[in-house]
């Protein structure tokens, strides 16, 4: 009878649950490591560390991760995918300890919503100092211009790091005084290149990634419009007029553009 009782005690002490729940003497907690703010669509590998009584840490294994709202975040194989904007809690549990973090999921910034809006490439009289290009934020939130640049041919100029409000239009002019006197517009920065009247490809970049493009008069010789653009000679404007977008809807064709005497 004593032998049977001893065996029962040994089997119970070696069960998987007992081993899993056993807490080492030197462990005092667990810490989940994740940013407090992320953007929708982001992926993050979930990492946790074991906190020890002597102040040291070690990488935690066999951690169970749970979320407060599975519509906002999905956790699979130790990775979190943030699905929608909102606030969510992620909890890490191991060795009988837990740690929860509240995370703000923000909207993913639509950087491609910044568009070239108008181009004055052939001003009245001599062109020098009178050309300008404007851009517009067609999104419903602010967008920082950090990393953006305008270009034509092999020339380009950065646009600074100002924030554009929804619907805001900013003008980049060759000469600030001329822009104000000729067109009644305030320049947000210097346009450091000139454009050909016969045909020019005007581009907007963000961190060297092409965001928007307009083929003035069908584009330049080196960068002519493709067949998808729809015209080998449009958009175009007579001397003194600019070309301007008709709406915020972008089809990447010449039909997005009209000739205008007003840059606004």
Residue 230's pLDDT is what?
96
Residue 8 forms part of a structural domain: no
Same domain membership, residue 179 and residue 96: no
Q: Which residue numbers in the chain have pLDDT < 50?
A: 1-21
pLDDT digits 0-9 by tens, 159-192: 999 999 999 999 999 999 999 999 999 999 999 9
- Residue 12 has phi, psi (to 5 degrees) of -65, -40
Task: Give me the number of domains the chain comprises.
Answer: 2
pLDDT digits 0-9 by tens, 240-254: 999 999 999 999 999
Same domain membership, residue 129 and residue 255: yes
Residue 53 forms part of a structural domain: yes
The owner of tokens 């995370």 is: 103
Instruction: Tell me, rounded to whole angstroms, the distance of Cα 237 from its chain centroid.
Output: 34
CATH number of residue 50's parent domain: 2.60.40.1080
Same domain membership, residue 137 and residue 44: no
Same domain membership, residue 118 and residue 95: no
Chosen domain end from 62, 84, 106: 106
Residue 175 forms part of a structural domain: yes
Residue 25's pLDDT is what?
75
Same domain membership, residue 163 and residue 252: yes
Residue 16's pLDDT is what?
36
Residue 16 forms part of a structural domain: no
Same domain membership, residue 118 and residue 36: no
Same domain membership, residue 153 and residue 197: yes
Same domain membership, residue 234 and residue 144: yes
Residue 5 forms part of a structural domain: no
| Residue 21 and residue 91 in contact, taking contact as beta carbons nearer than 8 Å | no
How far apart are the C-alpha atoms of 63 and 33, rounded to whole Å? 12
Residue 4's pLDDT is what?
40
Residue 2 forms part of a structural domain: no
Q: Are strands 155-158 and 148-152 parallel, antiparallel or unpaired?
A: antiparallel
pTM over 0.75? The answer is: yes
Residue 15's pLDDT is what?
35
Residue 6 forms part of a structural domain: no
Chosen domain end from 68, 85, 106: 106
Residue 156 forms part of a structural domain: yes
Lateral strand order in the sheet of 37-39: 37-39, 97-106, 86-94, 64-67
Same domain membership, residue 146 and residue 45: no
Same domain membership, residue 229 and residue 148: yes
Q: State which residues form the domain around 86.
A: 24-106
Same domain membership, residue 126 and residue 238: yes
Chosen domain end from 106, 137, 169: 106
How far apart are the C-alpha atoms of 256 and 236, rounded to whole Å? 12
Query: Three-state DSSP class for 179?
Result: helix
Same domain membership, residue 231 and residue 140: yes
Q: What angle do CA 236, 237, 242 make, to 5 degrees?
A: 115
């Amino acid at each position: 009878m004593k032998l049977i009782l001893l065996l029962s005690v040994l089997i119970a002490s070696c069960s998987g649950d007992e081993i899993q729940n056993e807490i080492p003497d030197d462990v005092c907690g667990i810490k989940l490591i994740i940013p407090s703010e992320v953007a929708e669509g982001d992926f993050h590998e979930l990492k946790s560390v074991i906190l020890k009584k002597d102040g040291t840490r070690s990488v935690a294994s066999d951690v169970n991760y749970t979320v407060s709202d599975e519509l906002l975040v999905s956790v699979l194989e130790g990775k979190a995918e943030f699905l929608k904007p909102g606030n969510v809690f992620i909890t890490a549990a191991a060795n009988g300890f837990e740690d929860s973090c509240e995370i703000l999921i923000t909207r993913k910034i639509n950087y491609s919503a910044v568009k070239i809006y108008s181009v004055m490439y052939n001003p009245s009289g001599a062109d020098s100092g009178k050309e300008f290009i404007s851009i517009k934020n067609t999104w419903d939130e602010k967008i920082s211009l950090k990393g953006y640049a305008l270009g034509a041919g092999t020339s380009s100029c950065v646009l600074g790091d100002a924030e554009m409000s929804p619907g805001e239009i900013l003008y980049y002019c060759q000469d600030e005084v001329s822009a104000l006197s000729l067109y009644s517009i305030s320049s947000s920065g210097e346009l450091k290149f000139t454009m050909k009247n016969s045909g020019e490809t005007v581009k907007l970049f963000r961190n060297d990634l092409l965001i928007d493009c307009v083929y003035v008069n069908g584009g330049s010789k080196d960068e002519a419009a493709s067949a998808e653009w729809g015209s080998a000679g449009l958009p175009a404007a007579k001397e003194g007029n600019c070309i301007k977008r008709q709406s915020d809807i972008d089809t990447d064709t010449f039909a997005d553009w009209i000739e205008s005497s007003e840059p606004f």
